[in-house]
Amino acid sequence: MSQSVRIGIIGAGAIGNAHMGAFSKLEGAVVAAITDTFLPLAQQRAEEHRIPQVHQSPEALLLDPGIDAVVIAVPNKFHAPLAIEALGQGKHVLLEKPMSTNSDSARQILEAKEKSGKVLMMAHQMRWEGLSRALKQEIENGKLGTIYNAKTGWLRKKGIPGWGSWFTRMEESGGGPLIDIGVHMLDLTLYLMGNPKPVSVFGSTYAEFGPRRQGIGNWGTPNWEGYYDVEDLASALIKFDNGATLSLEVSWAAHTAGLSEDPFVYLMGTEGGGSMVGSTGKLVSHEGNIIIESSLAPLEGEDSRTLLSKHFLECIREGKEPITTALSGYTNNRILDAIYESSKTGGEVKLTWE
């Protein structure tokens, strides 16, 4: 591999563009190629970011011997085939969330990663935000003790993206807000809890807004010739092998009177608690019978995408396992699948692990 890591971008949309901006600022990284199913957009991004090569297809980019690593930032249904092909071609992979549309194909990615010996990192940027890093630091310093209960979620009142497009089609997206924004909150909270192993899930999903073409947000381009067959609200309780529990609530659209629309995490531990609601962090503990509350300030430093990108490069150069591992992506998919299954059956879903 050359001294600089030569990166190919698959997907020239908003998320791919964010990755281009991050890597283009980093020493030792060269964004060398790009592709998109809509080639004019790929050509536009190439001009904006001075990317020398526009490939006609993802397959052509993956066959390029001058590319060391790829960023996959495309609709969910393409994550598994592209990640598996990239790993098979000897490329390191930075994969956007969710890992895949279901846990079966996510496991295939995991197996391809293990066979290839290459780095596969999930692009969960919320782990790298200043407030998340500050709370993780407090946890690692023992301030919360053992975390035994947590609540997390993201409840939007009106935010259905791209009605009728791939976002709202189960076959292409794998789900609605649960797999879109819920996977962010699930991943972050599991990380803060120390990645306990999930053993059972009980959940419900609802579609009360999308089928009526209500609750439509500003993200994505609507396709009024399309359809909506995913949920717009999901609620779940997850139990872990260490006895801890996690409740998760997410929505694209809901009548959430009096509730914040900011993403939230509440952690309850034996020695203290911590929370993040939007950009506000708090800590709580007891001294004797007195409650001590304080604010939690974000750690200073570079933005989350820059830190994420630097970590990806570091893992490639040093052969390190990423903080956001392939296994974490697979675990997220297992939980999401279980929530959907529980909603269909009305019962608890047990998870077993090899």
Q: Could you tell me the CATH number of the domain that includes residue 257?
A: 3.30.360.10
Query: Hunting for tokens 């911590």 — which residue is that?
Result: 274
Between the CA of residue 271 and those of 67, 68, 143, 146, 287, what are the distances in Å?
48, 45, 6, 7, 10
> Do 120 and 176 fall within a single domain?
no
pLDDT of residue 1: 45
> Do 241 and 134 fall within a single domain?
yes
CA gap 218, 211 in Å, rounded: 17
Other CB atoms within a 10 A radius of the CB of residue 115 amount to 11
Q: Which of 153, 184, 161, 164 is nearest to 264 (CA)?
A: 153
> What CATH number did the domain enclosing 26 receive?
3.40.50.720
CA gap 126, 130 in Å, rounded: 9
> Do 112 and 191 fall within a single domain?
no
> Do 104 and 204 fall within a single domain?
no
- Looking at this protein, which amino acid is placed at residue 147? I
In a domain, residue 326? The reply is: no
CA gap 113, 106 in Å, rounded: 11
The reported pTM is 0.96
Q: Which residues of the chain have pLDDT under 50?
A: 1
In a domain, residue 214? The reply is: yes
Half-sphere CA count of 282, side-chain side, radius 13 A: 13
User: In terms of residue numbers, what domain contains 228?
Assistant: 127-303+334-350
Residues 6+ apart with CB under 8 A from 12: 34, 35, 36, 38, 41, 42, 44, 45
In a domain, residue 114? The reply is: yes
In a domain, residue 329? The reply is: no
Percent of the chain at pLDDT above 90?
A: 98
Number of domains in the chain: 2
In a domain, residue 99? The reply is: yes
Judge residue 133's burial from the number of C-beta atoms within 10 Å of its C-beta, 0-12 exposed, 13-18 middle, 19 or more buried.
Answer: middle
> Do 113 and 153 fall within a single domain?
no
In a domain, residue 328? The reply is: no
> Do 141 and 243 fall within a single domain?
yes
Order of strands across the sheet with 264-269?
290-296, 280-287, 272-277, 264-269, 147-155, 245-251, 233-240, 198-206, 349-350
Task: Name the CA radius of gyration of the chain, rounded.
Answer: 20
In a domain, residue 144? The reply is: yes
Task: Give the tens place of pLDDT for each residue, 279-329.
Answer: 999 999 999 999 999 999 999 999 999 999 999 999 999 999 999 999 999
CA gap 276, 278 in Å, rounded: 6
pLDDT of residue 3: 75
The H or E element that residue 47 is part of is helix 39-49
> Do 159 and 192 fall within a single domain?
yes
> Do 238 and 279 fall within a single domain?
yes
In a domain, residue 327? The reply is: no
Half-sphere CA count of 98, side-chain side, radius 13 A: 33
* Backbone phi, psi, residue 84, to 5°: -65, -45
Residues 6+ apart with CB under 8 A from 7: 23, 29, 30, 31, 32, 33, 67, 68, 69, 70, 71
For the record, the structure tokens of 20 come out as 């281009």
> Do 178 and 279 fall within a single domain?
yes
Name the 3-class secondary structure at 152: strand
Report the DSSP beta bridge partners of residue 264: 153, 277
> Do 180 and 76 fall within a single domain?
no
> Do 146 and 289 fall within a single domain?
yes
> Do 84 and 154 fall within a single domain?
no
